[in-house]
Chain A
Amino acid sequence: MAGLKDAAAIVGIGQTPFARHLPEDEKTLACRAVLAALDDAGISPGEVDALASYTMEETDEVELAKAVGLGDLTFFSKVGYGGGGSCATVAHLAAAIASGQASVGVAWRSRKRGSGPRPWTNTSAQLPTPAQWTRPFGLLRPADEIAMLTRRYMHEYGATRDHLFNVALACRNRANQNPAAVMYERPLTREMYMTSRWISEPLCLFDNCLETDGALACVVVSRERARDCRHAPVYVHSAAQGLPAQHHGMVNYWNDDPLTGPAWTAARHLWKHADFTPQDVDVAQIYDAFTALIPLSLEGYGFCGRGEGGAFTEQGALEIGGRLPLNTSGGGLSEAYVHGFNLINEGVRQLRGTSTAQVPGAATCLVTAGEGVPTSALLLRS
C-alpha cells in the first residue's frame, strides 16, 4: 500500500502581520495569507483544487474561493477542536493529494482573537467540553482547565515553576530574534515571570499565550509537483491525529490517567510511519497555548520518559544549541497565537534554512497541534 510518507510537500507559506489589533477583517486577512502562500509557491490561485481549515475558522470555503479566484474544488475539509486541528489541516490535504482526490491544496487560519471576544465569556454557547460539570463552579477558561492538570502534574512529578519559565523564556528569546513576532522587542526575565500576576494558580500571565490578530496559510502539492516550485520542498514525512480512548478534552479529569493526553496517541502513529526517531528531530514546534503543554508534549512525543518533561527543559535544552530547540519563531507564547498555524510555517522555514533563529543544518522538524484536546502532528523533513 502506498502510504502518506513523503508523498506530499509544503511548497508555499504566507502570513499577514501579527498584532493585538489589525484593522482588516478576518476574511480579508485570510485572502491575504492565502495569496501570499500561493505567490511563495509560484502557483496561481486557479490551480487550487483543495482546501482545509479548522471548524472554528469563520471564513468558509465559498467565501475564500470566490474572493481569491480559486479553481474548481474537489476536496475541502475542516478539523475540529480548536488548535488541535492545526496539523490535521495539512495532513488532510496530504492524504487527499496522495490518494488522487486533489492536486493543489491550501490550508489556512485567520483569526482576530486579539480584537475579538474571549470565547469563554460567551455564557450561552456551550463550548465543546462537558460545561455543566465545570463552569458553574468557576472553572471558566481554558487556562483554568489546564491549570488543574498542571497542578496535578507538578504534584506527581516534581515539576516546578522554573521549568515552566524555561519554556516561556525559550519562546520569548526566539521571538526577540523574529521581527514579525508580537514580542520582538520585549525580553523576558525570570524576575518578570516570578512576580507577574496570576491568571489561574499555578499558571501566571507568562504561562499563557498571546491574544493575536493574524492569518497564515500554506500550500501542499504532490512530491512530483513540488520539484517544480519556487522553493525546496518540505516533505510531509508522517502525519497523525490523536483522540485517545476515554479522553474528555481540556477537562480530561475522568479516566485512569488524565496526564496521558492526545499527544501519546498521535505520537504512536506518527513514529510508526516514520523513518526516524525522536532522537533524530533537529527542531520542534510544539503547541504552546500554555507553557505546561510543553513538558506534557515532550513526554507524549517520546523526547523523554514519563514525568521527565519538566527536567528536560533544564540547562537550555529548548534554546538554540540545546537538545531540542523549541518554537523558533516564538510560538503562541511570544510570536502570535493563531491556533498554532504559525508553528507549521516556522517548521517550513527551518527546513528551508530561512528562520530568523535558524538551527544549523536542520533537516527534520516535529510540529504539533494543541495538546489537551483531540490533536494532530506532523513530521516534516527537507
Chain B
Amino acid sequence: MLRRFATSPSGAKMKRESQSPLPLRVWRAKWLYLALLVPVAMLLIFEWLPAFSALYNSLYIWNGGKVHFYVGLEHYERMLSDRTFRVAITNLLGFVFFRVIMQTVLPFFAAEMIVNLRSARWSYWWKIIFVFPMVVPTILNYLIWRFIYNPQVGLLNEGLELIGLEQYTHAWLGDPNTVMWALAFVRFPWLPTLQFLIILGGLQTIPQEVHESAAIDGAGFWRRLFYIDIPMTRRQITLAMILTMLFMTQRFDLFLVMTDGGPGYSSMVPALQLYQSAFHFLEFGYASAIGVVLFVAMLALTIINLRVSAGATAQ
C-alpha cells in the first residue's frame, strides 16, 4: 500500500499519483501522517506555540498568570531607555567579538599543527587529548573557573604569588573593570570541541598534493597558511564562527553561574536579563520582547555571515 508513495526514479508512477484528487492522496498517505503525528504534535506544542506566544506576549504586560493586558510596543520602547539593557548589549557585543576570535583562532592553530604532524599515531592522540575536556560537564567548567578566579584561594592569584607578582592579585570577578575579561577567558586553554572538530575536518580534506606542490614551489609554513589552508577551509571557519556567535548570544548559564550579572549589573547580558525579568520579576511580557530582539539579531547575523562568506567564495 505504502510502496506506491515511495520516491523512485521512474517518473511514470509519480505522475499518475499526483493526478488523483487531493483528498484521495491524503487518505492513501494516512499511515505516513500517523507516523509523523507524534513529532509534529510535539513540535507544535513545545516549540511553535511558545515561539508565537513570545511574539504575541511581547505586546502585553503579563506576569505569567492572570495579569495580562495590551501595551503595544511599550516594551520595545522601554528597552531603548533601559540602562541595564544598554549595558547588557554592550557587554554582549564585546564578549561575542572576543569569543568568536578566540574560539576560531585557537582551534585553527591547534588543528593546523595536528594536521601538519607526519606521525599519524601522534595526531590521533592529540585529537583525543584536545577533545578530552568535553567529558567535564559544562557547569563544572564554570565552577572550576570560579575557583581559578577565587580571590582568596584561586589558582590565578596563587599562581601570581608563586612567581612573585603579588601586586597583581585581584578579585577578578568582583571588580566591574575586570569581570567581563575574566568571563571572556573562562575555559580559555580548552578548545571548543565542536568548532575544533569542524575546522580539523576542513583541514584534513585539503589534498596532500596541494601541500606537496606548494612545498616544491618553496612556500613555507606561513605562506601555506595564508594562501592555502585558510582560503580552503573558509566554509568551516565561517560555520565555526556562526556557531560561536549563536551559542554565545543565547547561552547565559556562564553568566548565571559565575556572577549572576554582578557586581551591580556590570556583567549583565540580554539573555540573562530576559531570565531575570521572567523568573525574578515575573515580567514575562518584557522578557518575551527581549527574546524577540535577540531572535531578530541572531537571524540577521546568520544571514549576513552566510552572505559575506558566499560572496567571498564566489570571487
Q: Do A and B come from one complex?
A: no
